[in-house]
Amino acid sequence: MTENVKPATRRMLLIGAATLAGLPILAEPRRARAAGTLPKANAKYQDHPNGANKCDTCTYYVPGPKPGAAGTCKVVAGSIAPNAWCILFAPKPH
Ligand code: SF4
């Protein structure tokens, strides 16, 4: 069946399919895709460090647009302060 499709038409179909497949990624901001869904209360999120442990040294932290700006977390929902902490803290590998 595909051998009856002209090469130019087949190419257009492939380009159209690839474009449609990429649309959800382009329409969704990068930070939103990385954000987790666990409520802060469930993670016992606090807006200050726990000793030397804080979000910006956690493997799940996704930095904000500028140094010191709030980012997101791959596990916990919402805006995450770089100096915050929760019980799911896992240090970044060195
Ligand atoms: S400490 Fe908790 S809230 Fe902060 S980045 Fe790690 S997992 Fe997310």
What's the CATH code, domain 35-94? 4.10.490.10
Q: Is the pTM of this model over 0.75?
A: no
Average confidence (pLDDT) over 14-23: 43
- Kindly state if the Cβ of 43 falls inside 6 Å of ligand 1: yes
Q: Higher model confidence: residue 21 or residue 43?
A: 43
- Kindly state if the Cβ of 81 falls inside 6 Å of ligand 1: no
Which pLDDT belongs to residue 10? Answer: 53
Which pLDDT belongs to residue 52? Answer: 97
| Spacing, Cα 85 to ligand 1 middle (Å) | 6
Every domain of the chain and the residues it spans = 1-29, 35-94
pLDDT band for position 94 (cuts 50, 70, 90) = confident
Residue 3 pLDDT exceeds 80: no
- Kindly state if the Cβ of 85 falls inside 6 Å of ligand 1: yes
> Which H, E and C letters describe 36-81, residue by residue?
CCECCCCCCCECCCECCECHHHECCEECCCCCCCCEEECCECCCEC
| Spacing, Cα 27 to ligand 1 middle (Å) | 26
37-43: long-range pairs with CB below 8 Å, 24+: 37/77, 38/75, 38/76, 38/77, 38/88, 39/76, 39/77, 40/76, 40/77, 40/78, 40/86, 43/75, 43/76, 43/86, 43/87, 43/88
- Encoded tokens for 89: 């803290």
Q: Whose CA is nearest to atom 2 of ligand 1?
A: 86
Q: What is the pLDDT of residues 60-78, one digit of tens each?
A: 999 999 999 999 999 999 9
